[in-house]
């Protein structure tokens, strides 16, 4: 266990996330000194006592490892009253995080690829400064000085920011929006999954009722967007292709009948699980105007698929991919996860070699994130993280493999508790890149989200953002939607 005392109740999340990045297997507690008791039997390996004297222009901290003499660190910062933005290099927040990083890096010898950055959207920093007129050199200097970000990740952020800026052209005028529909059912629940998804077998007799609830939301929200331009449509989950062909057909039909899709640049259905894909479903999607799908292997090792609860084989992935090509889909994404249980560098190389034979139009490379709501979280609590670590060598194999297929990075995000403190990166070829993914990361337009567990995002003039979510529980969502007006109707009214 690691204890962090402070004298002010501020930046707890940032402190916790950064310390956890250095010590992923330790519990970390952050609180104001004297506000709580520590269990007497707690095995404390590190105590950090922070004095946040930013009103006086400095931050101080004592670090005590395993009973050793305290080691003191101090850094000057801008006085909080004079810091007009937390993004300033020497703002109290950034100096606090650099102090923590410096001390923990010195003790552990661990270099974090993203430095002090703990948020999920690091590319937004590069994008903001790019749009503000900074050169690549100025952005690189800022990210290094402010966040101790590695040259590799800084250059990746800048490359993606330039590509995103080009792909977003024509969508940032305030007249467009995107539509998301959540289908919360899967063939089975994967061990790493933390989403509110349910095995389709438990809901077979209720799926049509669930879709009727989405139809009600569509009917109630569509009139609000009649004067808006629908730029992208994304049906996700879950696994939308757990729906039967007739169910997919009526859902697609409702969307096209209710919203003006004539200006839409893409229509994605996250097919995902190869064991849910059939030619009949592919034909329905193609006929309905779907332009982008996913066929997600996660790994090309059968032994790992079995271990993580994905009840399909590598051969099913290959067969489903070629079936989608046969159905006419020329924009297919594939997902892989690095750091899966028991996988080593050679397994990642094998997966990349096998995917290269298929030549997908997109590849999304995920670093395993251990989420509290997943089965893997309980496993890690009992057995530790051994055998589930993403390494820089794995990331390099995946990146080199993607680039060798002619795929360039176009969007990136990070997650809490992500393996190796790395990131998830989407790679695409030519114009085969997902606009919806970029809009979600850069938050450039409103997103109308329907279905259980979905979260709508409304962008106001001046870049103010508000969010509104539907209940995650499928049964509660259906009960509420059946009896009450859609919360999304009220949210966008």
Q: At what angle do helices 151-167 and 136-147 cross, to 10 degrees?
A: 130
DSSP string computed for 401-429 = HHHHTT-EEEEEE--TTBGGG--EEEEEB
For the chain, state the CA radius of gyration. Answer: 24
In sequence order, which residues have a C-beta less than 8 Å from that of residue 386 and are 6 or more positions away?
A: none
pLDDT one-digit tens code per residue, 332-356: 999 999 988 889 999 999 999 999 9
Question: Which H or E run contains 243?
Answer: none
Residue 287 host element (H or E) = helix 279-287
Q: Are 4 and 17 in contact (CB under 8 A)?
A: no
Q: Identify the burial level of 131 via C-beta atoms within 10 angstroms of its C-beta, where 0-12 means exposed, 13-18 middle and 19 or more buried.
A: exposed
Within a 10 A sphere around the Cβ of 36, how many other Cβ atoms?
8
What single-letter DSSP state applies at residue 39? Answer: P
Find out whether 472 and 304 touch, Cβ atoms under 8 Å: no
Contacts of 453 (CB under 8 A, 6+ apart): 182, 184, 195, 196, 469, 470, 471, 472, 477
Task: For the full predicted model, state whether its pTM sits above 0.85.
Answer: yes
Cα angle 36, 37, 42 (rounded to 5 degrees) comes to 130
| Residues present in the chain in total | 493
Q: Which tokens sit at 428?
A: 């695409």
pLDDT tens track, the chain, 493 positions = 999 999 999 999 999 999 999 998 899 999 999 898 888 888 999 999 999 998 899 999 999 998 788 999 999 999 988 888 878 999 999 999 999 999 999 999 999 999 999 888 999 999 999 999 999 999 999 999 999 999 999 999 999 999 999 999 999 999 999 999 999 998 766 555 555 567 777 788 899 999 999 999 999 999 999 999 999 999 998 899 999 999 999 999 999 999 999 999 999 999 888 999 999 999 999 999 999 999 999 999 999 998 888 888 999 999 999 999 999 999 999 999 998 888 999 999 999 999 999 999 999 999 886 544 445 555 555 545 455 567 889 999 999 999 999 999 999 999 876 767 789 999 999 999 999 999 999 999 999 999 999 999 999 988 899 999 999 999 999 999 999 999 999 999 9
Handedness of CA 281, 284, 287, 289 (dihedral sign): negative
Beta strand segments in 217-356, E = 229-237, 266-272, 292-295, 332-338
**The pair of three-digit structure tokens given for residue 179, joined into one six-digit string:** 């539509």
Buried b (16+ CB within 10 A) or exposed e, 257-287: ebbeeeebbbbbbbbbbbbbbeeebbebbee
Dist. CA 452–CA 471, nearest whole Å:
6
Report the b/e string of 45-79 with b at 16+ CB within 10 A.
ebbbbbbbbbeeebbebbbbeeeeeeeebebebbe
pLDDT tens by residue, 465-474: 999 999 999 9
- Of the chain, the end-to-end C-alpha distance in Å amounts to 48
Q: How high is the pLDDT of residue 373?
A: 44
| Contact yes or no for 410/123 (Cβ under 8 A) | no
Element (H, E) at 163: helix 151-167
The Cα–Cα gap between 138 and 132 comes to 11
**Structure token digits, residue 373:** 């709501």
Structure tokens at 484: 């009450």
Q: Output the CA–CA distances (angstroms, integers) from residue 374 to 26, 79, 197, 240, 309, in the order listed.
A: 18, 42, 11, 20, 12
Q: How many helices (H) and strands (E) does the chain have?
A: 16, 18
Helix (H, G, I), strand (E, B) or coil at 70: coil
Interatomic CA distance for residues 487 and 221, integer angstroms: 10
Measure the CA–CA gap between 192 and 182, rounded to whole angstroms: 19
């Amino acid at each position: 266990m690691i204890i962090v005392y402070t004298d002010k109740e501020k930046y707890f999340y940032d402190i916790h996330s950064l310390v956890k990045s250095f010590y992923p297997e330790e519990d970390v507690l952050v609180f104001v000194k004297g506000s709580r008791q520590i269990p007497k039997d707690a095995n404390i390996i590190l105590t950090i006592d922070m004095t946040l004297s930013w009103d006086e222009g400095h931050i101080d901290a004592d670090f005590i490892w395993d009973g050793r003499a305290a080691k003191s660190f101090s850094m000057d910062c801008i006085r909080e009253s004079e810091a007009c933005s937390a993004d300033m290099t020497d703002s109290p927040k950034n100096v606090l995080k650099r102090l923590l990083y410096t001390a923990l890096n010195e003790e552990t010898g661990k270099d974090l690829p993203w430095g002090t950055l703990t948020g999920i959207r690091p590319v937004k920093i590069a994008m903001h400064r790019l749009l503000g007129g900074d050169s690549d050199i100025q952005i690189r200097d800022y990210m290094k000085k402010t966040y101790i970000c590695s040259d590799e990740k800084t250059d990746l952020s800048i490359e993606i920011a330039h590509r995103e800026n080009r792909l977003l052209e024509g969508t940032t005028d305030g007249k467009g929006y995107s539509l998301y529909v959540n289908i919360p059912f899967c063939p089975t629940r994967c061990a790493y999954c933390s989403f509110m998804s349910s095995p389709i077998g438990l809901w077979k007799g209720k799926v049509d009722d669930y879709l009727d609830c989405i139809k009600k939301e569509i009917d109630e929200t569509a009139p609000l967007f009649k004067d808006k331009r629908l730029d992208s449509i994304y049906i996700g989950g879950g696994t939308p292709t757990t729906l039967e062909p007739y169910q997919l057909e009526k859902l697609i039909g409702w969307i096209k009948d209710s919203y003006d899709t004539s200006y839409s640049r893409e229509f994605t259905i996250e097919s995902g699980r190869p064991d849910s894909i059939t030619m009949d479903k592919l034909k329905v999607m193609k006929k309905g105007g779907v332009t982008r799908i996913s066929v997600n292997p996660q790994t090309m090792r059968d032994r790992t698929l079995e271990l993580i609860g994905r009840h399909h084989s590598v051969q099913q992935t290959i067969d489903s991919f070629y079936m989608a090509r046969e159905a006419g889909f020329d924009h297919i994404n594939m997902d892989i996860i690095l750091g899966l249980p028991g996988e080593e560098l050679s397994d990642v190389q094998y997966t990349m070699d096998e995917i290269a034979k298929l030549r997908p139009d997109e590849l999304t490379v995920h670093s395993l994130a251990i989420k509290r709501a997943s089965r893997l979280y309980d496993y890690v609590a009992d057995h530790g993280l051994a055998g589930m670590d993403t390494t820089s060598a794995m990331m390099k194999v995946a990146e080199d493999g993607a680039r060798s297929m002619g795929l360039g990075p176009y969007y990136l995000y990070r997650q809490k508790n992500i393996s190796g403190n790395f990131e998830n990166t989407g790679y695409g070829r030519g114009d085969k890149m997902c606009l919806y993914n970029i809009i979600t990361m850069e938050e450039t337009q409103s997103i109308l989200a329907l279905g259980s567990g979905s979260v709508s995002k409304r962008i106001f003039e001046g870049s103010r953002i508000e969010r509104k979510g539907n209940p995650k529980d499928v049964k509660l969502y259906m009960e509420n939607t059946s009896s009450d007006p859609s919360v999304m109707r009220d949210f966008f009214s």
